[in-house]
Amino acid sequence: MKTLKFLFTTLLSAVFAVFVVTACNSQAPDSASSPGASPAASPAETLTMATSADYPPYEFIETSSGSEEIVGFDIDIAKYITEQLGFGLEINNVDFNGLIPALQAGRADFVMAGMTPTEERKQNADFSMIYYEAKNTIVSKAGSNLTDAASLEGKKVGVQLGSIQEGFAKDTLTGAEIIPLNRINEIVQEIKANRIDAAIIEDTVAKGYTASNPDLEFTVIPNEGVAGSAIAFPKGSELLAQFDPVLQEMIDSGKIEELVTKWFSGEPAS
């Protein structure tokens, strides 16, 4: 009798448990089968952008409240484009000469770093339309009278490794000793310490550094050949066809000019 009672109690408990589970499941929203239900939002795909955050006002590290953040002209453009396309964005700081290799190795979906689409770079990456054009300058100690290519003959001239300025210096400055360095702030310090005589730096970047270092001056060199900044992608990337229309809309609507005013009218360099 105890055995029958035990079996009956066990069976009843099992039936009750099945009923409870079934009832709970029937109350849970099922977007795949419930008519009119909105599908659960899947997290947006996150794109990885590689940059060299030593190039104010294009990209640089801002320190506030004990935290560090990469900010700048390129960063605002990248955020706008990825938001418009529904992507998340992760930004990685890489030495400039490592940016194209990062694309090739699949460690980045795109690169923004004030990068000019030279023929050499086009062999290893695809590029967007030009979104901003700047000029090269000679940066040197104030009063040094280093104002053109001829004046740099026999001088030590710093350039950022892998930059368009490095190629320009090697092609243009005959008789000068070219000193490639990884970061712009290193180049500026080398000038201030008299270990190099001058540097070739983009004008928007030179303005910031000379504003915060009044012992330095710069002279603009007229552009010849390829100039301007574009976004780099891995060869064959489908993102290029998505990014270019948004870039064009930013140019047409005045958004790019708004960001130029925001970042290039001040002196964000430190």
- What confidence category does residue 21 fall into, taking pLDDT thresholds of 50, 70 and 90? very low
Length of the chain in residues, anyone? 270
Is the per-residue pLDDT at 254 higher than 50?
A: yes
Output the DSSP codes for 122-187: HTT-EE----B---EEEEEETT----SGGGGTTSEEEEETTSHHHHHHHHH-TT-EEEEES-HHHH
Q: Which pLDDT score, from 0 to 100, does residue 264 have? A: 79
- What confidence category does residue 179 fall into, taking pLDDT thresholds of 50, 70 and 90? very high
Domains, in order of start, for the chain: 46-132+228-264 (3.40.190.10), 136-221 (3.40.190.10)
Q: What is the mean pLDDT of residues 44-55?
A: 92
- What confidence category does residue 164 fall into, taking pLDDT thresholds of 50, 70 and 90? confident
Q: What is the mean pLDDT of residues 1-14?
A: 43
Q: Which pLDDT score, from 0 to 100, does residue 133 have? A: 87
Is the per-residue pLDDT at 93 higher than 70?
A: yes
Is the per-residue pLDDT at 34 higher than 80?
A: no
Q: Categorise residue 207: left if φ over 0, alpha if ψ from -120 to 50, beta otherwise.
A: alpha
Dihedrals phi, psi of 258, to nearest 5 degrees:
-60, -40
Q: Which pLDDT score, from 0 to 100, does residue 156 have? A: 97
